[in-house]
Structure 1
Amino acid sequence: MSSQELVKFAGVEKTYDGKTLVVRDLNLDIRAGEFLSLLGPSGSGKTTTLMMLAGFESPTAGEIFLNGKPITRTPPHKRNFGMVFQNYALFPHMTIADNVAYPLTVRNFSKAEREAKVLRALGMVQMDNLSARYPGQLSGGQQQRVALARALVFDPQLVLMDEPLGALDKQLREHMQLELKALHRQLGLTFVYVTHDQSEALTMSDRVAVFSDGIIQQIDIVTGLYETPANHFVAGFVGDNTVFDGTVAATRDGQCDLRLASGTVLSGLNVNAAATSSRVHACIRPERIEVHPAGASPGVNSLEAKVGDVIYFGDHLRLRCALPGQVDATVKIALSSPTVPQSGQTVWLRLPPEHLRVYL
């Protein structure tokens, strides 16, 4: 991945009714060769951002630059971007080869150039042996590959994808995620990918921009996004979390003490610099919680809990534990754990302070 800036959004805003901003003061740099995912719930502004980049929507304010030159008023067909939609948008009356050749036809490539480029693009997605078929004769996964080949065939400098795997079943979707990641690595193109699926974003991306209410809440590499969420929204939207509500009892050097309704005091990282007496949420990844038997001495930052359900997830066990005055805590433990609590047992949950993050 290059650090060179390819696309720049500068103060971009978008409103459809003149009142509500769907995208607010967007300042975003997209690096050449990176796989950037725009992640967020419905209505968060991620798809509108992609459509403005593609040229299908116009910003209400601000500018979009490509290689330092403004493209805000450049029509879509002159931006040289490949586009893949969720519904694939293939022409049903055209063969696979003709579907992939379509962008070359409208760009007036010669017949020989078209044939060579179509063969190469279909080869990239392992569909070259089905070029004579029609879209209706293909599975959903095969149609998705054809749509991707069509987006790549004219050698675009940027490939934009709007939830392209959303219509596939879980197993095929996960398989295609790995294939897309491998293809990105092989081609070295810049991919911008819209999704509401956080596991999809974490699997494929170099960086992820998390959207909410038209604003990027955090943009980071995937490990940074998962391990050090910038605020309560990101912590809750990306990955699983166990959450404790309480009040800040004391603050010191980037840390704070959190008093729960039960009176228990926990120490954690004071991410948003919450002041004493503030109502806050403390979040920790379920796999970071240590489980100790009732008779053991777990040390500081521990809570007594009662195990409700013990759920088998294939690669780990998930415990649901009841706590006084809190929602149930989720805990993940390895299948190889020497002691697996049973439903109904009392245990101690230790929350390492370096992994307990406190948010306003």
Structure 2
Amino acid sequence: MTTQAPLVTFCGVQKTYDGEHLVVRDLHLDIEAGEFLSLLGPSGSGKTTTLMMLAGFETPTAGEIRLRGRDITHTPPHKRHFGMVFQNYALFPHMTVADNIAYPLTVRRVPRAEREAKVRRALDMVQMGRMADRYPAQLSGGQQQRVALARALVFDPQLVLMDEPLGALDKQLREHMQLELKALHRQLGITFVYVTHDQSEALTMSDRVAVFNEGVIQQIDRVERLYETPVNRFVASFVGDNTALDGRVVEAAGDDVVVTLGDGTRLRGVNVNGAAAGEPVQCCIRPERIEVLEAADAPPGGNVIDATLEDVIYFGDHLRLRCRRRDGTELIAKRPLSQRPHAPGETLRLHLPAPHLRCYR
């Protein structure tokens, strides 16, 4: 059985701007043909620098970038033939929508008839067919974003790079465009590489997500695994909501671990990083995995803690219960609207299922 070679490969890539501090450290990354890969991380984590090196606007300090096995580390941007969409759209204000979209074809000297046909197809692709003669100033933010995307797609690139293209849109439009981008990717089958600091955006659209911090990929995985099985504390806290409890290991056997909290409570969980007896750990669990037990519920065999309910926050499709333990630790539990309401001041019994309590060194 043969495995298809990656479309893009980063081989030991590093980047420094001042000769001292590495913005990207020893990056090894394969990008598969046809996938939607998001580069996710906080400001300064190296994700945008990685995208700019792939685009050709930045040159690695060390290492290689290969496209289908060919070294493109020093290939100028216009010879890479990648589509690019920026947050500010970068549309030419003096050109019509059609002319903006046609620009990549014009500089490539595509014949006029072919150029016009490709522009019509690109306009239809982003549902802007009736606005070909308008100017950017006559368009809404969402419409400008569509034009920028059509311009990136019009010359049939093998790779489309996007640097936070939805960042300037309001929440409702941004969420709508996320779904449109995902549908367009599925329809076209082109490889998308997308930079964002918004973890919900990355989870919504991507096939895989690479989580960056301090110039290093902390984890790259399919979205379900990234959310359910983070490999370290940073990924657990950065991707999705997370409740964390500090404790110390008292028993460790393979993937299982028993931890004691500051008040002596014992919890069983998953030993993610191989913590040994006596080591301090942080126990993390997603809010939707925390079960609120009623008084009549039988104890589920351990992993139950008490906490005082401080606030109930209405989220439309669910409630979030903000609880606090005696030592000051805050916990957030999600609760369906259909279940019995709770009032602030109540003491709640919270069950933290062992398979979902991940313990990190």
> TM-score category by the smaller chain?
over 0.9
- Contact map agreement 1:245 1:326 (CA 8 A) in 2: no
Q: What secondary structure, in the 3-state scheme, does the structure 2 residue paired with 1:147 have?
A: helix
2: CA distance between counterparts of 1:75 and 1:293? 64
1: CA distance between counterparts of 2:31 and 2:41? 17
The answer for the alignment partner of 1:171 in structure 2 is 172
Structure 1 vs Structure 2 CA RMSD:
1.1
2: CA distance between counterparts of 1:175 and 1:353? 37
Q: Deviation of residue 98 (structure 1)?
A: 0.5
| Superposition map of 1:39-54 within 5 A | 39-54=40-55
2: CA distance between counterparts of 1:340 and 1:30? 47
Q: Deviation of residue 294 (structure 1)?
A: 4.5
Structure 1 unaligned runs (5+)? none
Q: Is it true that 1:321 corresponds to 2:320 in the alignment?
A: no
State the AA in 1 paired with 2:214. D
Instruction: Give deviations 1:31-85, integer Å, cap 9, x for gaps.
Output: 0000000000000000000000000000000000001100001100000100000
Q: Deviation of residue 3 (structure 1)?
A: 5.3
The answer for the alignment partner of 1:182 in structure 2 is 183
1: CA distance between counterparts of 2:191 and 2:296? 55
After TM superposition, the score normalised by the length of structure 2 is 0.97
- Match for 1:311 among 310, 313, 327? 313
The answer for the alignment partner of 2:261 in structure 1 is 260
Instruction: Give deviations 1:1-38, integer Å, cap 9, x for gaps.
Output: x9541000000000000000000000000000000000
State the AA in 1 paired with 2:226. L
The answer for the alignment partner of 2:359 in structure 1 is 358
The answer for the alignment partner of 1:83 in structure 2 is 84
Instruction: Give deviations 1:77-130, integer Å, cap 9, x for gaps.
Output: 000100000000000011000000111111111111111111111110000110
- Contact map agreement 1:23 1:49 (CA 8 A) in 2: yes
State the AA in 2 paired with 1:225. L
1: CA distance between counterparts of 2:185 and 2:297? 50
List structure 1 segments (4+ residues) > 4 angstroms apart after TM superposition: none
| Superposition map of 1:47-196 within 5 A | 47-196=48-197
1: CA distance between counterparts of 2:84 and 2:166? 13
2: CA distance between counterparts of 1:298 and 1:328? 22
2: CA distance between counterparts of 1:278 and 1:91? 59
User: % of aligned pairs identical?
Assistant: 70
Q: Deviation of residue 293 (structure 1)?
A: 2.7
- Contact map agreement 1:257 1:266 (CA 8 A) in 2: yes
- Contact map agreement 2:164 2:195 (CA 8 A) in 1: yes
After TM superposition, the score normalised by the length of structure 1 is 0.98
The answer for the alignment partner of 2:233 in structure 1 is 232
- Contact map agreement 1:244 1:326 (CA 8 A) in 2: no
- Contact map agreement 2:96 2:132 (CA 8 A) in 1: yes
The answer for the alignment partner of 1:333 in structure 2 is 335
